[in-house]
Structure 1
Amino acid sequence: MPASAQPPVRGLPAVYFNDPAIFHRAKEEVFFRTWQYACHASQLPAPGDYLTFTLFDQDIVVLRDRGDTLRAFYNVCQHRGHRLLEGSGNRRLLVCPYHAWSYGLDGRLKGAPGSDAVDGFDPGEICIPSIRLEEFLGFVFVNLDDGASSMDRCYPGVREAILALCPDIRERSLADEHSTEEGCNWLVAVENYNECYHCKGAHPDFAEGVIDPASYGVLPFGDGKVLVHSSRPARGDSAWYDVSGSDYGSFYLWPATSIQIYPGCVVNNYHWRPLAVDGTRVCRSWFSRDGQVDDVLRQVIELDRNTTFAEDLVLLRNVQRGIRSRGYRPGPLIISPDGGIDNELSIACLHRWLREAVDGNSSPTRAPT
Structure 2
Amino acid sequence: MTIDIPHPPSEVAHSRTLPGSFYADPAIFEAEKQAIFMKSWHYACLETDLLNKGAFVTLQIFDQHVFVVREKDGQIRAFYNVCAHRGHQLLEGRGQKKVITCPYHDWSYDLTGQLVAARQSRGHKKFAGSSICLKPVQVGYFAGFVFVNLDAGAAPFSEYTAEVAASIASIIPDRAGYKARKDVGYFGGEYECNWKIAIDNFLECYHCETAHKSFCDMMDAEHSTFTLHENFIYQFVPSGRKETSAAYPIDLQEDAVDGHFWFLFPNIIFSIFPGTKNFSVSWVEPVSAERSLRRFVTLTPDNVSKEREAARSRWGLNVLNEEDRQICRSVQQGMFQRGFDMGYYVLDSQNGNLSEDTVRQFHRMYMRWMFPQAGVRT
- Asked if TM exceeds 0.5, the reply is yes
* 2:140/2:158 contact within 8 Å kept: no
Match of 2:307 in 1: 295
Task: Show CA shifts across 1:156-204 (max 9, x none).
Answer: 4222221222222254221126642212111111111111111222122
Q: Give, in angstroms, the shift of residue 306 of structure 1.
A: 0.9
* 1:43/1:174 contact within 8 Å kept: no
More displaced stretch, 153-162 vs 287-296: 287-296
**Aligned pair count?**
355
The structure 2 residue matched to 1:72, chosen from 73, 78, 101, is 78
The structure 2 residue matched to 1:250, chosen from 232, 256, 261, is 261
Q: CA RMSD in A?
A: 2.4
* Percentage identity across paired residues of the two chains: 30
Distance 1:313 1:12 in 2: 20
The structure 1 residue matched to 2:330, chosen from 318, 322, 338, is 318
Distance 2:166 2:176 in 1: 13
Task: Show CA shifts across 1:236-280 (max 9, x none).
Answer: 222532254553211111001111012364212211221112221
* 1:212/1:233 contact within 8 Å kept: yes
1:142 aligns with 2:143: no
Give the residue type in structure 1 aligned to 2:222: A
1:180 aligns with 2:189: yes
Q: Give, in angstroms, the shift of residue 142 of structure 1.
A: 1.4
Distance 1:126 1:201 in 2: 59
Match of 2:223 in 1: 215
Q: Counterpart of 1:310 in 2: which secondary structure?
A: helix
* 1:71/1:133 contact within 8 Å kept: yes
Distance 1:192 1:312 in 2: 8
* 2:24/2:289 contact within 8 Å kept: yes
Structure 1 unaligned residues grouped into runs of 5+: 1-6, 365-369
Q: Give, in angstroms, the shift of residue 23 of structure 1.
A: 1.4
Task: Show CA shifts across 1:276-295 (max 9, x none).
Answer: 12221210222123499933
Higher-RCO chain (CA-CA 8 Å, sequence separation at least 6): 1
More displaced stretch, 183-192 vs 150-159: 150-159
1:43 aligns with 2:49: yes
Q: Give, in angstroms, the shift of residue 335 of structure 1.
A: 1.1
Distance 1:161 1:214 in 2: 22
Q: 1:68 to 1:295 in 2, by over 3 A?
A: farther
Structure 2 unaligned residues grouped into runs of 5+: 1-12
Q: 1:362 to 1:313 in 2, by over 3 A?
A: farther
1:121 aligns with 2:127: yes
More displaced stretch, 79-88 vs 141-150: 141-150
Q: 1:303 to 1:125 in 2, by over 3 A?
A: same
More displaced stretch, 257-266 vs 63-72: 257-266
Q: 1:162 to 1:8 in 2, by over 3 A?
A: closer
Distance 2:145 2:358 in 1: 24
Q: Give, in angstroms, the shift of residue 349 of structure 1.
A: 1.1
Give the residue type in structure 2 aligned to 1:202: A
Q: 1:324 to 1:362 in 2, by over 3 A?
A: farther
Distance 2:286 2:105 in 1: 32
